[in-house]
Amino acid sequence: MESKKIYLTKEGLERLNKEFEELTSNGRKEVANLIKQAKEYGDLSENSEYADAKDKQAFIEGRIAELEHILKNAEMIDEVHEKCQKIGVGCTVNVEVEDGEMKYKIVGSYEADPEKGWISNESPLGQALLGKAPGEEVEVVAPAGIIKYKVKKIQ
């Protein structure tokens, strides 16, 4: 089974690589030391420090596995979209809605941050906007009902 691509900005890719390096070099060493210290306290069945250290180890190993998957399937977003005709991942788009204009950047799901205006290509709005050109309209079903968006400009 082929994994789907995970879209990341250059900064997002660098941030995840840095986290991966930190966890594999320092995180593992720190948790190994915690486990070693906890074992010195004796009976492991009643040793809360040992249980906490093992939980932390499981968390770190899980995050490392997740990062390995992300980095293996990562595709860096081309963020240079001069004279872009249609919306794609990495584009910034201005849309008109009932109560004004909104600006969104289409990014992969791992970097989505609605407060910054970064929406996932997998979100209902992101999916609706992909492939659209200025002047086109889309309708998105939201909890508040159907919202109409008109594409004004792509950057």
Q: Is residue 24 part of a domain?
A: yes
Share of the chain above pLDDT 70, in %: 93
Mean pLDDT throughout 102-115? 93
What is the span of the domain harbouring residue 67? 6-76
Given 19, 47, 76, the domain boundary residue is: 76
Q: Do 54 and 96 fall within a single domain?
A: no
Cβ–Cβ < 8 Å for 78, 13? no
Distance separating alpha carbons of residues 87 and 110, to the nearest angstrom: 19
Given 76, 111, 129, the domain boundary residue is: 76
Q: What is the pLDDT of residue 35?
A: 87
Distance separating alpha carbons of residues 80 and 13, to the nearest angstrom: 16
Q: Is residue 83 part of a domain?
A: no
Q: Is residue 85 part of a domain?
A: no
Q: What is the pLDDT of residues 37-89, one digit of tens each?
A: 888 877 767 778 888 889 999 999 999 999 999 999 999 887 665 567 899 88
